[in-house]
Amino acid sequence: MNAFDLSRLRPRLPSPLEPVEDERFARRGLTLLLKREDLIHPDLPGNKWRKLALNLEAAEGRPVLTFGGAYSNHLRAVAAAGRLLGFATVGIVRGDELAGRPLNPSLTRCAADGMRLEFVDRATYRAKNDPATRALLLERAPAGAYVVPEGGSNALAVQGCVELGRELAGAADAVGVAVGTGGTLAGLAAGLGPGQRALGFPVLKGGFLGEEVRALQEAAFGGPRGEWTLDERFHGGGYARVSPALEAFARDFEARHGLAIERLYVAKMLYGLTALAEEGVFPAGTRLAAVITGAPDAPPSDGARPSGASPGGRARPSGASPGDRARPSSASPGDGGQPADSSR
């Protein structure tokens, strides 16, 4: 069987769509549904499967070179795919200062799955799409390597995410999704049917993701597709930043529904969707689907977690009322900045 035959991995598709009872939605006549993309595959969950599937088929078993930060979910997914399907992987990691340090749990997992890690300085990493820089980086990979961009977002990834929207056809009126690089939102919106819309919640600040989504749809489809919007208020200060208000909300959601919530993407999306509901944005009768794009990691060892990040495990109720904080105080739409690492 060829390395790129993904059927051997037995993905759970379509992913489950689960209704949940949440009084913050119910008292406004709204239905909340969780689209459990995190259950597609244990090693390639959520949007990782959607974004990588067509890229891996295009690679046809060749080595794969890709990019990410020290805690990149994308790097881990590519490394796992290489182990499961038998192709070589190389990860270009931002930050040459990391080369002489012990690997954190995320990169340890990548290495254990056979990924060769190449650390580069931040200036080189920022220039990774420059043709001359890209040629130098390709020298670190086996000949004929297939390149997947940071976060996996390219035209093939967007096309792979179209099926997510199609699975929700007729099941929801609006669909919330976290946005890191824009690929999942671009494909989701394209796959939704008439009268449906996608609501993107950026997890990083800077206000540049609208252009990214439009460019990705142009590359994938030749022009805009579907109805989508971005709400920039819920990044919580930037990528890998978890404000106290967001942490309280996530713990409360976990206690209400018995579902561990990943903090850096999923919690921000759920926080934003809940805030919009409480602001009265949705008319009674609206069916809202929240895309659960990933699950939290097991808690890393002390000192290995990125600043502000939470393992997101089951938690006791904090006593905080998410409804009292519709907007995290640290969210400031339009603030300048760049992502530390984004992979959605």
- Active site residue ranges: 72
The answer to whether the beta carbons of residues 93 and 175 sit under 8 Å apart is no
Rounded Cα–Cα distance for residues 200 and 90 (Å): 30
Rounded Cα–Cα distance for residues 28 and 65 (Å): 48
What is the dihedral sign for C-alpha 177, 179, 183, 186?
positive
β-pair type (31-35, 17-20): antiparallel
